[in-house]
Amino acid sequence: MPSKIFFRLDGQVAVVTGAAQGIGKAIAERLAAAGARIATLDLNLETAQRVAAAIGGMAARCDVSNADSIGAALDEVRQQLGPIDILVNNAGIAGRVLPLWELAEEDLDRVYAVNLKGVFLMCRSVIGEMIERHYGRIINVASIAGKEGNPSLIPYSSTKAAVIGLTKSLAKEVASKGDLTVNSISPAVIHTPILDDIPESTRDYMLSRIPMGRMGTVEEVAALVHFLASKEASFTTGQCYDISGGRATY
């Protein structure tokens, strides 16, 4: 029987994108509390720096939709902290909230660039070193919208569904290459600033679909990510973990 179970991450290097606020900030704080050395990557460098300073980590400006920006940010991370053990792809945007027939092509392109291409580029940037070192944990933040489809959120819902698919494919590509897992999570409504961009009627709709009848908290999401980022979560890959108060029980 194990005497101590802590899911410790001592000495491991964790990169969290979109960590300046909301869910990403809570994930960075939780992984740091478990002993990881954190790099907070965000478009908003000043706020990312404040988060990093409070947890003894480092920050870098990064636009996850741009390969050069990612390359520069990860160079800084590797120089300051060393090779990356844990990647949490959390940065994401909601996009415009309109029915399909009122959306422009650019509305899809913008959300696609951050939510899907961003995850693709970030994974591609770290997977080589994880394969070489036979170790890695990747957690992609998808959404319940990707499993169920929220009305007036087609760019968002479809990119999150794609993130779940990307996760499953990549998990299978690396499954035999060491202790290397790739999972996604699908939160329902979580209380963060992203909701500021979503009309009240849409928020009410999303909340009404949650059997627990409440929003989730960023701490609840961070706890799930912590487990998936741990060494102990070694036989679980390609999964999409629901954190939705019972909204999607599949």
Ligand X SMILES: NC(=O)c1ccc[n+]([C@@H]2O[C@H](COP(=O)([O-])OP(=O)(O)OC[C@H]3O[C@@H](n4cnc5c(N)ncnc54)[C@H](O)[C@@H]3O)[C@@H](O)[C@H]2O)c1
Using CB under 6 A as the binding rule, the residues of this chain from 147 to 186 that contact ligand X are: none
The yes-or-no answer on residue 156 being catalytic is yes
Q: Which of 135, 156, 205, 241 is catalytic?
A: 156
Q: How far is the CB of 136 from ligand X (least distance, A)?
A: 20
Using CB under 6 A as the binding rule, the residues of this chain from 52 to 91 that contact ligand X are: 62-65, 90-91
Pick one of 15, 16, 21, 136: the residue that binds ligand X (CB under 6 A).
Answer: 21
Closest C-alpha to 119, from 183, 32, 57: 183
Distance between start and end Cα atoms, the chain: 32
Residues 6+ apart with CB under 8 A from 116: 159, 162, 163, 166
Q: How far is the CB of 157 from ligand X (least distance, A)?
A: 10
Using CB under 6 A as the binding rule, the residues of this chain from 179 to 208 that contact ligand X are: 187, 189-190, 192-194
Enumerate the active-site residues. Answer: 156
List residues binding ligand X (CB under 6 A): 17-18, 20-24, 42-44, 62-65, 90-93, 114, 118, 141, 143, 187, 189-190, 192-194
